């Protein structure tokens, strides 16, 4: 499977995971409305709709296995594959709990209902549906703030579930009402488990925010949402991350001599590996391969159709450089060169020969990794 197709398939699976989240949330909402509105049709629709949910879960499971079998995902992609695999399992369980609630209603539909308990079931349902929706949005938008919001949302669900025992005990004087209440206690427990699965979904999404790298990109407001981090500590963390970025940016270039691709990567992987958008830089060299300057050429989508070749050499001409090394990042974390990367390199090689400025290499940087196109066999100029 070509790498480009791999990423297309990974994106498709993530979209299908979002679809599964929508189905699971809708199933829970339908099951709860069956109880609160005494709606037979909603209950039957939830039970019948479970086949579609299970089919989508199996599609995701098979898709993940296929990607793992045919590819060797790098760190960032492997994390996303793991997120899809674990999240789909949680969502399948959410669907199962929705079916349980619908079946409980079907069994108890002719028993006398208690309005207080019905109201509590409705409240629990509203919260857990919102929790599932929030967890899926946290994954879709890669939001740290939404991830850390879920545990607090689960607290009232736990309180309502615990209180259900007391409400059911009040029905002890009426055997039929007590029978209904005991079944509603099971329904409340199923909804409480939906809340737990939503929290697990958020924790899984949080794992995809790359740990410290994710925190370094978080805003002060998002940092304050992390348990134990108040405004003062959030400001300290934000200042520390910014200081680290500036120290890297100000790393002196005096006598920074390039002898191999690693000499470039050792400095720039830390600077560029976690950028959220693509950035293309030109490292300008003298005849001894000592760095004269490093210039940012382009920010955005680094494509041969968007980047003008003349811009690559503008600073090299101004500084009378004899050679350059191109460096750009892939925000996905996978440093595998794309066809556009290779095309841009070929155009730059041709232009450099016309200008008598040697293009010595083109490095593609991912998360904590890099690939040198020279090492990959591209015919660069040699000194």
pLDDT one-digit tens code per residue, 64-83: 888 766 665 555 666 777 78
The CA-to-CA distance between both ends of the chain, in Å, stands at 37
Q: Average of pLDDT values for 170-190?
A: 94
Q: What is the DSSP letter of 113?
A: P
Report the 10 Å Cβ neighbour count for 48: 11
Query: Residue ranges of the domains in the chain?
Result: 3-214, 247-372
Range among 232-236, 365-369, 379-383 with highest mean pLDDT value: 365-369
- pLDDT number for residue 253: 47
**What pLDDT was estimated at residue 383?**
53
User: Which pLDDT does position 148 carry in this prediction?
Assistant: 79
Q: Work out the average pLDDT over 34-51.
A: 95
CATH code of 3-214, in short, is 1.20.58.220
User: Per-residue pLDDT for 153 more than 50?
Assistant: yes
pLDDT, mean of residues 1-26: 84
SS3 126: helix
Per CATH, 3-214 and 247-372 having the same topology is answered no
| Residue 3 in this model has a pLDDT that exceeds 60 | no
Looking at per-residue pLDDT, the higher value among 301 and 148 belongs to 148
As a whole number, mean pLDDT of residues 99-103 equals: 96
In Å, how far are 42, 151, 214, 223, 238 from 229, measured between CA atoms? 44, 15, 15, 7, 12
Q: What is the mean predicted confidence (pLDDT) over 103-113?
A: 95
**pLDDT of 51 higher than 90:** yes
Give the number of other CB atoms < 10 A from CB of residue 198. 33
Structure tokens at 9: 């398939």
pLDDT of 210 above 90: no
122-147 burial: b if 16+ Cβ within 10 Å, else e: ebbbebbbebbbbbbebbeebbbbbb
Mean of all residue pLDDT scores within the chain: 84
Burial track 225-253 (b if 16+ CB lie within 10 A, e otherwise):
bbeebeeeebeebbeebeeeeeeeeeeee
pTM of the model: 0.57
Stretch 193-202: mean pLDDT? 92
Residue 241, pLDDT score = 63
pLDDT higher than threshold 60 for residue 304: no
What is the model's pLDDT at position 227?
47
Top-ranked range on mean pLDDT: pick from 156-165, 210-219, 241-250, 304-313: 156-165
Helix (H) or strand (E) holding 292: strand 291-299
pLDDT over threshold 90, residue 97:
yes
* Half-sphere CA count of 26, side-chain side, radius 13 A: 15
Residue that is written with structure tokens 């996905």 in the block: 332
Cα 301 from Cα 62, distance rounded (Å): 32
| pLDDT reported for residue 359 | 92
Lowest average pLDDT, out of 90-94, 269-273, 299-303, goes to: 299-303
For residue 363, pLDDT over 90 is answered with: yes
User: What CATH fold (topology level) applies to the domain 247-372?
Assistant: Cytidine Deaminase; domain 2 (3.40.140)
Mean pLDDT confidence for 27-37: 96
Helix and strand totals (H; E) in the chain: 12, 5
* Predicted pLDDT at 223: 61
Please determine, for residue 225, whether its predicted confidence score (pLDDT) is greater than 80.
no
Q: Are strands 358-366 and 279-285 parallel, antiparallel or unpaired?
A: unpaired
The percentage of residues in the chain with a pLDDT greater than 70, rounded to a whole number, is 81
pLDDT in tens, 239-279: 766 666 665 555 544 568 898 998 898 888 878 887 878 89
Residue 256 has a pLDDT of 82
| 95, pLDDT greater than 90 | yes
Question: How far is residue 261's CA from residue 157's CA, in Å, rounded to a whole number?
Answer: 55
């Amino acid at each position: 499977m070509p790498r480009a197709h791999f990423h297309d398939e990974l994106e498709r699976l993530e979209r299908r995971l979002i679809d599964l989240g929508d189905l699971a949330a809708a199933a829970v909402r339908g099951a709860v409305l069956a109880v609160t509105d005494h709606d037979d049709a909603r209950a039957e629709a939830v039970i019948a709709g479970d086949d579609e949910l299970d089919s989508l879960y199996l599609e995701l499971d098979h898709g993940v296995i296929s990607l793992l079998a045919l590819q060797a995902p790098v760190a960032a992609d492997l994390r996303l594959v793991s997120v899809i695999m674990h999240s789909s399992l949680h969502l399948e369980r959410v669907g199962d709990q929705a079916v349980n609630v619908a079946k409980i209603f079907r069994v108890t539909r002719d028993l006398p209902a208690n309005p207080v308990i019905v109201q509590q079931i409705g409240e629990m349902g509203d919260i857990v549906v919102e929790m599932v929706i929030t967890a899926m949005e946290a994954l879709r938008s890669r939001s740290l703030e939404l991830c850390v919001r879920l545990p607090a949302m689960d607290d009232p669900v736990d309180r309502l579930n615990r209180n259900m025992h007391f409400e059911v005990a009040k029905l002890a004087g009426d055997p039929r009402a007590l029978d209904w209440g005991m079944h509603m206690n099971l329904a409340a427990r199923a909804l409480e488990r939906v809340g737990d699965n939503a929290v697990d979904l958020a924790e899984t999404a949080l794992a995809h925010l790359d740990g410290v790298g994710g925190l370094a990109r978080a805003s002060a407001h998002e940092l304050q949402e992390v348990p134990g981090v108040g405004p003062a500590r959030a400001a300290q963390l934000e200042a520390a991350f910014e200081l680290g970025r500036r120290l890297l940016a100000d790393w002196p270039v005096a006598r920074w001599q390039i002898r191999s691709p690693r000499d470039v990567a050792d400095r720039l992987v830390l600077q560029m590996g976690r950028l959220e958008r693509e950035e293309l830089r030109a490292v300008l060299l003298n005849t001894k391969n000592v760095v004269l300057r490093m210039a940012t050429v382009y920010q955005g989508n680094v494509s041969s159709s968007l980047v003008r070749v003349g811009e690559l050499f503008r600073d090299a001409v101004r500084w009378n450089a004899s050679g350059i090394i191109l460096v750009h990042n892939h925000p996905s974390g996978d440093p595998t060169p794309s066809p556009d990367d290779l095309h841009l390199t070929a155009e730059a090689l041709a232009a450099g020969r016309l200008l008598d400025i040697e293009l010595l290499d083109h490095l593609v940087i991912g998360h904590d990794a890099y690939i040198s196109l020279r090492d990959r066999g591209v015919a660069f100029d040699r000194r």
